[in-house]
Amino acid sequence: MSFCVTYQDIILASQRLNNKAILTPVFTSRTANKLVDAQLYFKCENYQHVGAFKFRGAYNAIANLSETQRRAGVLTYSSGNHAQAIAYASQLHNIRALIVMPEDAPKIKIAATKGYGAEIHFYDRYSQDREVIAQQLAKEQGLTIIPPFDYPDVIAGQGTCAKELIEEVGVVDYLIVPLGGGGLLAGSLIAAKSLLPAVKVIGVEPQLGNDGQQSLRKGEVVSISAPKTIADGAATTHLGMHNFPIIQSLVEDIVTVSDDDLVLMMRFFAERMKMIVEPTGCLAAAAVMKKVVSVEHKKVGIIISGGNIDLKQFASWVG
Protein backbone atom coordinates (compact mmCIF):
# COMPACT_ATOMS: atom_id res chain seq x y z
CA MET A 1 0.00 0.00 0.00
CA SER A 2 1.44 3.43 -0.81
CA PHE A 3 0.36 6.57 0.99
CA CYS A 4 0.84 10.32 0.52
CA VAL A 5 3.38 10.26 3.36
CA THR A 6 6.27 7.80 3.70
CA TYR A 7 8.59 7.08 6.58
CA GLN A 8 11.30 8.83 4.56
CA ASP A 9 9.19 12.03 4.72
CA ILE A 10 9.12 11.70 8.50
CA ILE A 11 12.90 11.26 8.64
CA LEU A 12 13.27 14.43 6.55
CA ALA A 13 10.83 16.23 8.85
CA SER A 14 12.89 15.13 11.87
CA GLN A 15 15.99 16.60 10.26
CA ARG A 16 14.20 19.91 9.60
CA LEU A 17 12.94 19.98 13.18
CA ASN A 18 16.30 19.09 14.69
CA ASN A 19 17.23 21.85 17.18
CA LYS A 20 14.00 23.68 16.26
CA ALA A 21 11.34 21.60 18.00
CA ILE A 22 11.76 20.67 21.64
CA LEU A 23 12.77 17.06 22.22
CA THR A 24 9.90 16.67 24.69
CA PRO A 25 10.30 14.48 27.77
CA VAL A 26 8.84 11.01 28.23
CA PHE A 27 7.46 10.63 31.75
CA THR A 28 6.39 7.59 33.70
CA SER A 29 4.19 7.26 36.78
CA ARG A 30 4.35 4.31 39.17
CA THR A 31 0.84 5.12 40.34
CA ALA A 32 -0.52 5.02 36.79
CA ASN A 33 1.38 1.81 36.04
CA LYS A 34 -0.05 0.17 39.15
CA LEU A 35 -3.61 1.22 38.37
CA VAL A 36 -3.61 -0.52 34.98
CA ASP A 37 -0.88 -3.12 35.61
CA ALA A 38 1.19 -2.03 32.63
CA GLN A 39 4.24 0.06 31.75
CA LEU A 40 3.11 3.45 30.46
CA TYR A 41 5.31 6.02 28.70
CA PHE A 42 3.82 9.49 28.37
CA LYS A 43 5.26 11.61 25.54
CA CYS A 44 4.67 15.15 26.79
CA GLU A 45 3.91 17.48 23.88
CA ASN A 46 2.35 19.91 26.34
CA TYR A 47 6.00 21.02 26.70
CA GLN A 48 6.45 21.54 22.93
CA HIS A 49 6.77 25.09 21.50
CA VAL A 50 3.34 26.77 21.62
CA GLY A 51 2.20 24.05 24.02
CA ALA A 52 1.22 21.38 21.50
CA PHE A 53 2.61 18.96 18.88
CA LYS A 54 1.12 21.21 16.16
CA PHE A 55 4.43 23.09 16.03
CA ARG A 56 5.97 20.04 14.36
CA GLY A 57 3.65 19.92 11.36
CA ALA A 58 3.50 23.69 10.96
CA TYR A 59 7.28 24.10 11.02
CA ASN A 60 7.86 21.18 8.66
CA ALA A 61 5.28 22.46 6.17
CA ILE A 62 6.79 25.95 6.09
CA ALA A 63 10.36 24.65 5.90
CA ASN A 64 9.41 22.58 2.87
CA LEU A 65 7.85 25.43 0.85
CA SER A 66 9.69 26.86 -2.13
CA GLU A 67 11.63 30.09 -1.68
CA THR A 68 8.97 31.91 -3.73
CA GLN A 69 6.14 30.58 -1.60
CA ARG A 70 7.92 31.52 1.59
CA ARG A 71 8.59 35.03 0.35
CA ALA A 72 4.84 35.55 -0.19
CA GLY A 73 3.80 34.04 3.14
CA VAL A 74 1.29 31.56 4.52
CA LEU A 75 -2.31 31.53 5.64
CA THR A 76 -4.38 29.32 7.87
CA TYR A 77 -7.96 29.36 9.06
CA SER A 78 -7.75 27.31 12.23
CA SER A 79 -8.04 29.30 15.45
CA GLY A 80 -6.77 26.57 17.78
CA ASN A 81 -3.25 25.35 18.50
CA HIS A 82 -2.48 25.16 14.77
CA ALA A 83 -2.88 28.94 14.44
CA GLN A 84 -0.28 29.58 17.10
CA ALA A 85 1.98 26.94 15.59
CA ILE A 86 1.80 28.58 12.16
CA ALA A 87 2.33 32.02 13.69
CA TYR A 88 5.43 30.93 15.62
CA ALA A 89 6.90 28.78 12.84
CA SER A 90 6.46 31.74 10.46
CA GLN A 91 8.22 34.03 12.88
CA LEU A 92 11.16 31.58 13.04
CA HIS A 93 11.30 31.58 9.24
CA ASN A 94 10.92 35.35 9.07
CA ILE A 95 7.89 35.14 6.81
CA ARG A 96 4.41 36.63 6.77
CA ALA A 97 1.56 34.69 8.39
CA LEU A 98 -2.11 35.59 8.04
CA ILE A 99 -4.55 33.83 10.36
CA VAL A 100 -8.27 33.85 9.57
CA MET A 101 -10.17 33.90 12.88
CA PRO A 102 -13.76 34.43 13.96
CA GLU A 103 -14.19 37.94 15.41
CA ASP A 104 -15.50 36.43 18.64
CA ALA A 105 -12.42 34.18 19.15
CA PRO A 106 -11.14 34.10 22.76
CA LYS A 107 -9.05 37.22 23.48
CA ILE A 108 -6.24 35.08 24.85
CA LYS A 109 -5.90 33.29 21.49
CA ILE A 110 -5.96 36.55 19.56
CA ALA A 111 -3.26 37.97 21.84
CA ALA A 112 -1.09 34.83 21.59
CA THR A 113 -1.32 34.82 17.79
CA LYS A 114 -0.45 38.52 17.56
CA GLY A 115 2.35 37.95 20.07
CA TYR A 116 4.07 35.68 17.55
CA GLY A 117 3.89 38.46 14.98
CA ALA A 118 1.09 37.04 12.83
CA GLU A 119 -1.61 39.17 11.20
CA ILE A 120 -5.22 38.33 11.86
CA HIS A 121 -8.12 38.58 9.43
CA PHE A 122 -11.38 38.55 11.37
CA TYR A 123 -14.62 37.18 9.94
CA ASP A 124 -18.17 36.72 11.16
CA ARG A 125 -18.63 32.99 11.70
CA TYR A 126 -22.42 33.27 11.59
CA SER A 127 -22.58 34.75 8.11
CA GLN A 128 -19.26 33.86 6.44
CA ASP A 129 -17.56 30.58 5.50
CA ARG A 130 -13.93 30.57 6.68
CA GLU A 131 -12.68 28.31 3.91
CA VAL A 132 -14.18 30.52 1.21
CA ILE A 133 -12.59 33.58 2.82
CA ALA A 134 -9.26 31.78 3.16
CA GLN A 135 -9.24 30.73 -0.50
CA GLN A 136 -10.05 34.26 -1.59
CA LEU A 137 -7.37 35.91 0.56
CA ALA A 138 -4.78 33.33 -0.45
CA LYS A 139 -5.49 33.93 -4.12
CA GLU A 140 -5.48 37.73 -3.85
CA GLN A 141 -2.26 37.87 -1.84
CA GLY A 142 -0.36 34.86 -3.21
CA LEU A 143 -0.33 33.12 0.17
CA THR A 144 0.02 29.36 0.63
CA ILE A 145 -2.71 27.80 2.75
CA ILE A 146 -1.45 25.38 5.39
CA PRO A 147 -4.46 23.51 6.79
CA PRO A 148 -4.39 21.96 10.28
CA PHE A 149 -4.36 18.25 9.34
CA ASP A 150 -5.27 17.46 5.72
CA TYR A 151 -1.82 18.15 4.24
CA PRO A 152 1.08 15.70 3.70
CA ASP A 153 3.87 17.89 5.14
CA VAL A 154 1.77 18.50 8.26
CA ILE A 155 1.16 14.75 8.65
CA ALA A 156 4.89 14.03 8.22
CA GLY A 157 5.80 16.66 10.83
CA GLN A 158 3.32 15.26 13.35
CA GLY A 159 4.81 11.78 12.76
CA THR A 160 8.12 12.88 14.28
CA CYS A 161 6.58 12.75 17.75
CA ALA A 162 5.90 8.98 17.68
CA LYS A 163 9.32 8.43 16.07
CA GLU A 164 11.02 10.19 18.99
CA LEU A 165 8.99 8.28 21.53
CA ILE A 166 9.89 4.89 20.04
CA GLU A 167 13.54 5.83 19.60
CA GLU A 168 13.63 6.75 23.28
CA VAL A 169 11.74 3.87 24.90
CA GLY A 170 12.29 1.06 22.39
CA VAL A 171 9.71 -1.57 21.54
CA VAL A 172 6.17 -0.84 22.71
CA ASP A 173 3.15 -3.11 22.28
CA TYR A 174 0.67 -0.26 21.98
CA LEU A 175 0.74 3.37 20.92
CA ILE A 176 -2.30 5.42 21.94
CA VAL A 177 -2.95 8.70 20.10
CA PRO A 178 -5.56 11.49 20.35
CA LEU A 179 -7.64 11.91 17.18
CA GLY A 180 -9.21 15.05 15.70
CA GLY A 181 -8.80 15.46 11.94
CA GLY A 182 -6.13 12.77 11.87
CA GLY A 183 -2.83 14.61 11.29
CA LEU A 184 -1.28 13.26 14.47
CA LEU A 185 -2.73 9.76 14.10
CA ALA A 186 -1.80 9.35 10.42
CA GLY A 187 1.77 10.57 11.06
CA SER A 188 2.08 8.37 14.14
CA LEU A 189 0.88 5.35 12.16
CA ILE A 190 3.45 5.78 9.41
CA ALA A 191 6.27 6.28 11.93
CA ALA A 192 5.26 3.55 14.37
CA LYS A 193 4.42 0.88 11.81
CA SER A 194 7.70 1.51 9.97
CA LEU A 195 9.79 1.19 13.14
CA LEU A 196 7.70 -1.54 14.82
CA PRO A 197 5.52 -3.46 12.35
CA ALA A 198 3.81 -5.37 15.18
CA VAL A 199 2.81 -2.35 17.26
CA LYS A 200 -0.92 -1.79 17.74
CA VAL A 201 -1.84 1.87 17.26
CA ILE A 202 -5.16 3.09 18.65
CA GLY A 203 -6.85 6.46 18.03
CA VAL A 204 -8.96 8.09 20.75
CA GLU A 205 -11.82 10.54 20.14
CA PRO A 206 -14.28 12.33 22.39
CA GLN A 207 -17.50 10.30 22.72
CA LEU A 208 -19.58 13.09 21.22
CA GLY A 209 -17.22 13.59 18.30
CA ASN A 210 -16.70 10.01 17.12
CA ASP A 211 -16.73 10.70 13.37
CA GLY A 212 -13.42 8.86 13.01
CA GLN A 213 -14.78 5.73 14.65
CA GLN A 214 -17.88 5.91 12.46
CA SER A 215 -15.68 6.37 9.38
CA LEU A 216 -13.58 3.33 10.25
CA ARG A 217 -16.70 1.18 10.73
CA LYS A 218 -18.31 2.41 7.52
CA GLY A 219 -15.18 2.32 5.35
CA GLU A 220 -15.60 5.93 4.18
CA VAL A 221 -15.22 9.41 5.67
CA VAL A 222 -18.31 10.22 7.75
CA SER A 223 -19.10 13.88 8.56
CA ILE A 224 -20.91 14.88 11.75
CA SER A 225 -22.17 18.27 12.90
CA ALA A 226 -19.84 20.30 15.15
CA PRO A 227 -19.57 18.18 18.31
CA LYS A 228 -20.06 19.65 21.79
CA THR A 229 -17.11 18.48 23.86
CA ILE A 230 -14.51 20.03 26.16
CA ALA A 231 -11.88 18.43 23.89
CA ASP A 232 -11.87 21.44 21.55
CA GLY A 233 -8.75 20.26 19.69
CA ALA A 234 -10.63 17.14 18.58
CA ALA A 235 -13.97 18.83 17.87
CA THR A 236 -13.47 18.25 14.14
CA THR A 237 -16.40 17.21 11.96
CA HIS A 238 -14.56 14.80 9.63
CA LEU A 239 -11.19 13.18 8.93
CA GLY A 240 -9.00 14.59 6.18
CA MET A 241 -8.94 12.94 2.76
CA HIS A 242 -5.17 12.45 2.99
CA ASN A 243 -5.49 11.11 6.53
CA PHE A 244 -8.30 8.61 6.16
CA PRO A 245 -6.61 6.04 3.85
CA ILE A 246 -3.61 5.85 6.20
CA ILE A 247 -5.80 5.48 9.26
CA GLN A 248 -8.12 2.98 7.61
CA SER A 249 -5.26 0.70 6.55
CA LEU A 250 -2.99 0.86 9.58
CA VAL A 251 -4.97 1.63 12.72
CA GLU A 252 -5.89 -1.16 15.13
CA ASP A 253 -9.04 0.57 16.36
CA ILE A 254 -10.60 3.92 17.21
CA VAL A 255 -12.16 4.22 20.67
CA THR A 256 -13.88 7.02 22.59
CA VAL A 257 -13.89 8.55 26.08
CA SER A 258 -16.37 10.88 27.80
CA ASP A 259 -15.76 14.47 28.86
CA ASP A 260 -16.03 13.32 32.49
CA ASP A 261 -13.16 10.89 31.91
CA LEU A 262 -11.10 13.75 30.48
CA VAL A 263 -11.69 15.83 33.61
CA LEU A 264 -10.60 12.91 35.84
CA MET A 265 -7.48 12.53 33.72
CA MET A 266 -6.68 16.26 33.93
CA ARG A 267 -6.97 15.97 37.70
CA PHE A 268 -4.66 12.93 37.79
CA PHE A 269 -2.01 14.70 35.70
CA ALA A 270 -2.17 17.80 37.91
CA GLU A 271 -2.16 15.97 41.22
CA ARG A 272 0.15 13.03 40.54
CA MET A 273 2.42 14.18 37.76
CA LYS A 274 2.35 17.98 38.37
CA MET A 275 1.34 18.69 34.79
CA ILE A 276 -1.20 20.95 33.14
CA VAL A 277 -2.77 19.08 30.23
CA GLU A 278 -5.67 20.39 28.14
CA PRO A 279 -8.75 18.17 27.74
CA THR A 280 -7.83 17.08 24.20
CA GLY A 281 -4.35 16.23 25.44
CA CYS A 282 -5.90 13.77 27.91
CA LEU A 283 -7.75 11.64 25.33
CA ALA A 284 -5.16 8.87 24.90
CA ALA A 285 -4.29 8.61 28.59
CA ALA A 286 -7.96 8.56 29.60
CA ALA A 287 -8.66 5.61 27.27
CA VAL A 288 -5.90 3.65 29.01
CA MET A 289 -6.71 4.65 32.59
CA LYS A 290 -10.43 4.01 31.99
CA LYS A 291 -9.49 0.63 30.51
CA VAL A 292 -11.33 1.36 27.27
CA VAL A 293 -8.25 -0.29 25.79
CA SER A 294 -6.90 -3.11 27.88
CA VAL A 295 -3.13 -3.07 28.09
CA GLU A 296 -2.43 -5.37 31.05
CA HIS A 297 1.24 -6.44 31.26
CA LYS A 298 2.03 -4.49 28.08
CA LYS A 299 4.40 -1.65 27.26
CA VAL A 300 2.39 1.34 26.11
CA GLY A 301 3.31 4.67 24.48
CA ILE A 302 0.79 7.44 25.15
CA ILE A 303 0.85 10.83 23.45
CA ILE A 304 -0.10 13.81 25.60
CA SER A 305 -0.82 16.18 22.75
CA GLY A 306 -1.08 19.62 24.36
CA GLY A 307 -1.42 21.78 27.43
CA ASN A 308 -3.14 25.00 26.37
CA ILE A 309 -6.00 25.81 28.64
CA ASP A 310 -7.59 28.85 30.26
CA LEU A 311 -6.45 28.77 33.89
CA LYS A 312 -9.85 29.74 35.33
CA GLN A 313 -11.44 26.94 33.35
CA PHE A 314 -8.71 24.54 34.47
CA ALA A 315 -9.19 25.50 38.11
CA SER A 316 -12.94 24.95 37.90
CA TRP A 317 -12.37 21.44 36.48
CA VAL A 318 -9.62 20.21 38.76
CA GLY A 319 -10.68 22.10 41.92
Active site residues: 54, 79, 205, 209, 211, 305
Region binding ligand PLP by CB under 6 A among candidate stretches 116-124, 164-172, 216-224, 273-281: 273-281
Q: How many other β-carbons are positioned within 10 Å of the β-carbon of residue 20?
A: 15
- For the CB of residue 215, give the shortest distance to ligand PLP in the complex, in Å: 13
CA angle 90, 233, 203 (to 5 degrees): 115
- For the CB of residue 109, give the shortest distance to ligand PLP in the complex, in Å: 12
Q: Does 185 bind ligand PLP (CB under 6 A)?
A: yes
Q: Does 205 bind ligand PLP (CB under 6 A)?
A: no
Q: Does 181 bind ligand PLP (CB under 6 A)?
A: yes
Q: Which of 283, 206, 277, 202 is nearest to 237 (CA)?
A: 206
Among 159, 227, 281, 301, binds ligand PLP (CB under 6 A): 281
Count of helix runs (H) and strand runs (E) in the chain: 14, 10
- For the CB of residue 307, give the shortest distance to ligand PLP in the complex, in Å: 8
**Beta strands at 39-44 and 26-27: parallel, antiparallel or unpaired:** antiparallel
Q: Hey, CA dihedral for 271, 273, 275, 281, is it positive or negative?
A: negative
Q: Does 149 bind ligand PLP (CB under 6 A)?
A: yes
- For the CB of residue 92, give the shortest distance to ligand PLP in the complex, in Å: 19
From residue 13 to residue 42, the character string flagging contacts with ligand PLP as x (rule: CB under 6 A) and all else as - is: ------------------------------
Among 234, 255, 289, 309, binds ligand PLP (CB under 6 A): 234
Nearer to ligand PLP, 70 or 153 (CB): 153
CA distance linking residue 63 with residue 53, whole number of Å? 16
Q: Hey, CA dihedral for 122, 57, 40, 254, is it positive or negative?
A: positive
Region binding ligand PLP by CB under 6 A among candidate stretches 5-13, 111-119, 180-188, 192-200: 180-188
CA distance linking residue 132 with residue 48, whole number of Å? 31
Number of residues counted as binding ligand PLP (CB under 6 A): 23
Exposure string of 121-156, with b = 16+ CB inside 10 Å and e = fewer, is eebeeeeeebeebbeebbeeeebbbbbbbbbbbbbb
Q: Does 184 bind ligand PLP (CB under 6 A)?
A: yes
Residues at the contact surface with ligand PLP, assessed by CB under 6 A: 52, 54, 80-81, 148-149, 158, 178-185, 233-234, 236, 278, 280-281, 305-306
